[in-house]
C-alpha cells in the first residue's frame, strides 16, 4: 500500500502543480531573489503544509472556514504585490538581493497553498490509502520537483530581464493572484 500511495500522490500532485499559481509565484520570486533562498523557503513551506495535510489537516480545515483563508491570502498577496513596486535599498545599492527572500518565499507559499487543491488531495489520498508516510513522501517530492523547475526557470529570467522589471512583474503577478483569490476564480 505504501508504494501505491507514494506513486499516486507523486503523480497527481506533480501534474496538478505544473503551471499552477504556486509554480508561477516561485518562478517570479526566483527571478527576483535567486534559486536557493526561494527553493529553500518554498520547500520548507511545502514540507510543513504536507505534514499538516496528512496528519491533522482534516480537523484544522474544518475549524477554519474556506472563505476566511481565501480572503486572508488574497489580502496578503495584494499587499506583497503593492510592496513590490517600492524600490528596495538593496536594489539601490545594486546587489540585487532582498534581505529575506527565504522568509518571503516561505510565507508566500504557506499562504498560497493552505487549503489549496494539492493539500486537499493529500488529505483525501491519506484517507484512501491509509498510508500517511507514502502520501506525504509522494506529495512532497512532487512539490519539490515542480518548485525546482519553476525556480530554475526564474533564475534564468533574471539573467535576461532587469531586476526592476522583474520586481514590477512580480508585483503585478501577486496582485492578480490576490484579486483572483478574492473573487473565487483561483
- Domain residue extents for the chain: 2-182
Grid coordinates representing 20? Answer: 499552477
- Residue 179 to residue 172: CA distance in whole angstroms: 11
pLDDT at 39: 96
Is the pTM of the predicted complex or chain greater than 0.75?
no
> Is the CB of residue 13 less than 8 Å from the CB of residue 121?
yes
> Is the CB of residue 112 less than 8 Å from the CB of residue 21?
yes
Whether the pLDDT of residue 44 is over 80: the answer is yes
Whether the pLDDT of residue 41 is over 70: the answer is yes
Whether the pLDDT of residue 107 is over 90: the answer is yes
Q: How many CB atoms lie within 10 A of CB 82?
A: 13
Q: Which helix (H) or strand (E) holds 171?
A: helix 163-182
Whether the pLDDT of residue 11 is over 60: the answer is yes
Please tell me what DSSP assigns to residue 88: P
Whether the pLDDT of residue 36 is over 90: the answer is yes
pLDDT at 90: 43
Amino acid at each position: 500500500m505504501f508504494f501505491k500511495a507514494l506513486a499516486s500522490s507523486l503523480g497527481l500532485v506533480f501534474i496538478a502543480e505544473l503551471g499552477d499559481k504556486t509554480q508561477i509565484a516561485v518562478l517570479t520570486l526566483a527571478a527576483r531573489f535567486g534559486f536557493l533562498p526561494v527553493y529553500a523557503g518554498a520547500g520548507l513551506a511545502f514540507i510543513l503544509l504536507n505534514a499538516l495535510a496528512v496528519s491533522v489537516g482534516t480537523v484544522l480545515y474544518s475549524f477554519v472556514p474556506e472563505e476566511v483563508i481565501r480572503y486572508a491570502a488574497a489580502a496578503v498577496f495584494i499587499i506583497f504585490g503593492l510592496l513590490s513596486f517600492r524600490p528596495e535599498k538593496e536594489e539601490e545599492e545594486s546587489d540585487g538581493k532582498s534581505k529575506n527572500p527565504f522568509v518571503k518565499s516561505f510565507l508566500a507559499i504557506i499562504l498560497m497553498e493552505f487549503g489549496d487543491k494539492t493539500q486537499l488531495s493529500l488529505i483525501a489520498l491519506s484517507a484512501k490509502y491509509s498510508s500517511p508516510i507514502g502520501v506525504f513522501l509522494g506529495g512532497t517530492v512532487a512539490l519539490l520537483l515542480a518548485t525546482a523547475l519553476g525556480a530554475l526557470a526564474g533564475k534564468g529570467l533574471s539573467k535576461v530581464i532587469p531586476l526592476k522589471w522583474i520586481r514590477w512583474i512580480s508585483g503585478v503577478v501577486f496582485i492578480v493572484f490576490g484579486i483572483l483569490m478574492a473573487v473565487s476564480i483561483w
